[in-house]
Structure 1
Amino acid sequence: MTITASAAADGAAVARARFRAGESETTAGLAPGHVQANLIAVPADWAQDLSLFCAYNRQACPVLDITEAGSPATRLAAGADLRTDLPRYRVWRDGGLVAEPAEVTAHWRDDLVAFLLGCSFTFETRLAAAGIPLRHVEQGRNVPMYVTNRPCRPAGRLSGPLVVSMRPVPRDLVPAARAATRGMATAHGCPLHTGDPAALGIRALSCPDFGDAVRPAPGDVPVFWACGVTTQTALMASRPPFAVTHAPGHMLITDLRDGTHPGP
């Protein structure tokens, strides 16, 4: 069975239980009002580099929690297991993607330190409340994400380009989109750019690097927010020996509401 938007009413814990049972779907539009989080788990000897990378590039990589080495638990979600409770994962070796499984129990290691980072899906409840259409949700698609020409600030052994997510927004509602997301720093905050994608080095909106292409409506303009998938382009560029991440758009749905954001 596939999860649909109707799962939103079930709440975060039920959605996680369904993912643990093997169901899989993008989490856009699920459990409205709940904080969603990116996952990246790296060996302990890379954790300091990742911590600095997140600190230096906070808009793309806002840290919500950091686990103890080997622990699959997080204070963001009671009883959650980070190895099973996301709808899809990615496994990386030497910067290359080697698997995209529905759970990572067999891949989890005792030396992995997991970072949970804020996600723009969190602020979509506020966009909708402001009357801003969510085209990817309307079309049953993942949000489109693009690698940009903007380098992140390097940290130790980690470096790479910024990734952005894009939502088409009616031109007259762009100020409302900025206002709705301005105060949500742990979900990437205000847009980084509005309008011409070429200014970010993006050649074609119809060919996202991650997620799905979305059809704009007449009068829409592209609006771009920083994206936590930035850590995955850092893995590709920096080639740590091993890592586990979420698959783009397949997030951890936490118990937190979107007005409660703990520090790391």
Structure 2
Amino acid sequence: MSNTPNSPKNVSPQALRQAIRQGDHKGNTSGFCPGFVQCNVAILPADWANEFLQFCQLNPKPCPLVAMSSQPGQIDMPEIAQGFDIRTDVPSYRIFRDGQFKEEVHDIQEYWRDDLVTFLLGCSFSFEEALLADGLDVRNISQGKNVPMYRSNIACKPAGRFSGDMVVSMRPFKAADAIRAIQICSRFPSVHGAPVHFGDPSLIGINDVHQPDYGDAVDIADDEVPVFWACGVTPQVALEQAKPPFCITHSPGCMVVSDLPNSRLAIM
């Protein structure tokens, strides 16, 4: 990322979005712009939008809605960031046709249509800051990796054509730190809230915690337990199953970085 300071803590959301728009940053956004809300992305045709909105409302832990387009074709979202353009300001996008992943791109201007509706969903990167502030080791950040994410067997509530199992993200902690992490994240229901499981991964359908379905594997010490949160990649699974003719999501770990402070999402 050549046009921004070397340390993520020195990068403003506006500077990071500009670097993304210019193609200078194409990777994940974990650890960047602490203090500001990061969002998962789902973009789909207007005739699918109401059902997807209902799916989010019925499944607020994996799909916590932060913002959505006020009308089809809208490319800016001034309520979350000034000068924002959904077509250029995400590091990496995934294109789906009839529920099948087709390609990953860094700009969707050529794919944009006037009937598309954008949904921005809360992201676990926002609560990672609170964990770090409490002195906890967030392993994906300390190891410079994308957070590991897995398909679980935890069923979401269906809405119209949308259904599917929850995707979860994982961070390992010692038992006492895991309890503290649960307490901290309970204050952030708008960004997935408290974990959905900790301990034996097989109980939620994960056969090998060292082989994530998305993101990167991280080290887990012998005295640590894996802790699992609902993850905003969940809508991608629902979209794959619903098979809309066309839709766009973020690539896992590559978020919208907004101008909204995380403090606005916390329950004090």
State TM-score, norm by structure 1.
Answer: 0.96
- In structure 2, the partner of 1:20 is 21
Question: How far apart are the structure 2 equivalents of 1:46 and 1:152?
Answer: 18
Q: Per the alignment, in what secondary structure is the counterpart of residue 110 of structure 2?
A: coil
Question: How far apart are the structure 1 equivalents of 2:54 and 2:123?
Answer: 19
User: Does residue 1:46 correspond to 2:48, yes or no?
Assistant: yes
RMSD: 1.5
Question: How far apart are the structure 1 equivalents of 2:195 and 2:187?
Answer: 11
User: Does residue 1:216 correspond to 2:220, yes or no?
Assistant: yes
Q: What is the deviation of 1:220?
A: 1.7
Q: Once superposed, which parts of structure 1, at least 4 consecutive aligned residues long, lie more than 3 Å away?
A: 1-5
For each residue in 1:166-205, what CA deviation from the matched residue of structure 2 results, as whole angstroms up to 9, or x when unmatched?
0011222111101111010110000111100001100001
Cα 1:164–1:5 change in 2 (3 A) is farther
- Asked if structure 1 preserves the Cα contact closer than 8 Å seen for 2:45 and 2:246, the reply is yes
For each residue in 1:62-96, what CA deviation from the matched residue of structure 2 results, as whole angstroms up to 9, or x when unmatched?
10111021111112111111111111111110001
Q: What is the deviation of 1:15?
A: 0.7
Q: Provide the identity percentage.
A: 44
Question: How far apart are the structure 1 equivalents of 2:138 and 2:101?
Answer: 30
For each residue in 1:2-45, what CA deviation from the matched residue of structure 2 results, as whole angstroms up to 9, or x when unmatched?
78971331211111111111121211100011100001011000
The worse-fitting range, judged by mean Cα deviation, of 168-177 and 30-39 is 168-177
Question: How far apart are the structure 2 equivalents of 1:89 and 1:211?
Answer: 15
The 5 Å alignment of 1:3-152 reads 6-22=7-23, 23-67=25-69, 68-74=71-77, 75-152=79-156
Q: Per the alignment, in what secondary structure is the counterpart of residue 115 of structure 1?
A: strand
For each residue in 1:202-227, what CA deviation from the matched residue of structure 2 results, as whole angstroms up to 9, or x when unmatched?
00011111111111234221000001
Q: Per the alignment, in what secondary structure is the counterpart of residue 153 of structure 1?
A: coil
- Asked if structure 1 preserves the Cα contact closer than 8 Å seen for 2:96 and 2:103, the reply is yes
The 5 Å alignment of 1:164-183 reads 164-183=168-187
For each residue in 1:123-176, what CA deviation from the matched residue of structure 2 results, as whole angstroms up to 9, or x when unmatched?
011000111101111111100111111111110111111110000112221111
Q: Per the alignment, in what secondary structure is the counterpart of residue 263 of structure 2?
A: coil
> One-letter code of the match for 1:233?
V
Question: How far apart are the structure 2 equivalents of 1:244 and 1:47?
Answer: 13
For each residue in 1:220-240, what CA deviation from the matched residue of structure 2 results, as whole angstroms up to 9, or x when unmatched?
210000011100000111111
Question: How far apart are the structure 1 equivalents of 2:204 and 2:5?
Answer: 33
- Asked if structure 2 preserves the Cα contact closer than 8 Å seen for 1:64 and 1:261, the reply is no
State TM-score, norm by structure 2.
Answer: 0.94
- In structure 2, the partner of 1:247 is 251
Question: How far apart are the structure 1 equivalents of 2:87 and 2:202?
Answer: 38
User: Does residue 1:159 correspond to 2:160, yes or no?
Assistant: no
Question: How far apart are the structure 2 equivalents of 1:118 and 1:184?
Answer: 10
> One-letter code of the match for 2:36?
H
Q: Per the alignment, in what secondary structure is the counterpart of residue 16 of structure 2?
A: helix
- Asked if structure 1 preserves the Cα contact closer than 8 Å seen for 2:201 and 2:207, the reply is yes
**Unaligned regions of 5+ residues in structure 2, if any?**
none
